[in-house]
A = this chain, B = another copy of it.
Amino acid sequence: MPYELYYWPGIQGRGEFVRLALEEAGADYIDAARSPKGEDEAVSALMAAMEREGVIHPPFAPPFLKDGDVIIGQTAAILLYLGDRHALAPKDPVKRLWVHQIQLTIADLVAEVHDTHHPLGAELYYEEQKPEALRRAKHFREERIPKFLRWFESILARNPESDVHLAGKSVSYADLSLFQIVEGLLYAFPRRTKAVLAEVPRVAVLHQKIAGRPRIHAYLHSGRRLPFNEQGIFRHYPELDG
């Protein structure tokens, strides 16, 4: 039975971290956000699945994954589950937890990226909070992007088993997620991100290597990969890039 992934249509968003893991695993999955019947249908299916009566483990928000009777919400929890099933995380319990810890830090980074264009809250449009976004983005751009990327660089430098994987000697979901972070930062803050990437060569190499993995390469060049846009988490507003 294929997995079913539920997420908002029209954007990559947090669902994309799950898609990358499913694609790298070559897993059979139905992406409910990409309903051939259109976006309205996709949202209806999402809401129906999320709010169904009698679900013992109701997710708080998308994305969530159905695997038969099991429903799992929270991106990092979904990846923890898929990592075990598809060898996208080390088996050693300490290393497995380390990959998860990296993923949780990536989740924090994603929340900070969202707040650069929505500091006053997701319920208001960007245009309603532009002066505040300019203030919040400045600190993110100048301090947080280098702090996060240098942390990933230090992890790659310290991994005794590999220079191109964050943990262990083979690819993990954290590697895939770091690829997505670099893609997103390059889209949203191209000027600043290119400058910082020049200082973190291992992160830049990991980004290239993941893009070149056969299944990821095929996915990125397929119609399944939506382009970044200004409804998602990573948005390109040139004024926020300084």
Contact = CB atoms under 8 A, between A and B. Distances in A.
Contacts of A54: 158
B139 A121 contact: yes
A162 to B, nearest CB: 12
A35 interface: no
Contact of A74 (B104, B140, B160): B104
A105 interface: yes
A97 B123 contact: no
- Chain A contact residues: over half helix, strand or loop, or mixed? helix
A226 interface: no
The contact size tier of chain A is: 35 or more
Copies in the complex: 2
A12 to B, nearest CB: 19
A77 interface: yes
Nearest to A116: B121
Contact of A80 (B72, B100, B123, B148): B100
Nearest to A74: B104
Interface stretch (A20-28, A56-64, A200-208, A229-237): A56-64
Most B Cβ at <10 Å: residue of A73, A101, A104: A101
A119 B129 CA distance: 11
A241 interface: no
A30 interface: no
B101 A73 contact: yes
Interface string A130-153: 001001100110010000100100
Contact of A70 (B56, B72, B74, B94): B94
A60 B57 CA distance: 30
A151 B105 contact: no
A56 B101 contact: no
7 tightest A-B contacts by CB?
A74-B104, A77-B101, A60-B105, A74-B101, A119-B119, A121-B139, A57-B98
11 contacts: A56-B158, A73-B101, A73-B105, A74-B104, A81-B97, A115-B115, A119-B119, A119-B121, A121-B135, A121-B136, A132-B132
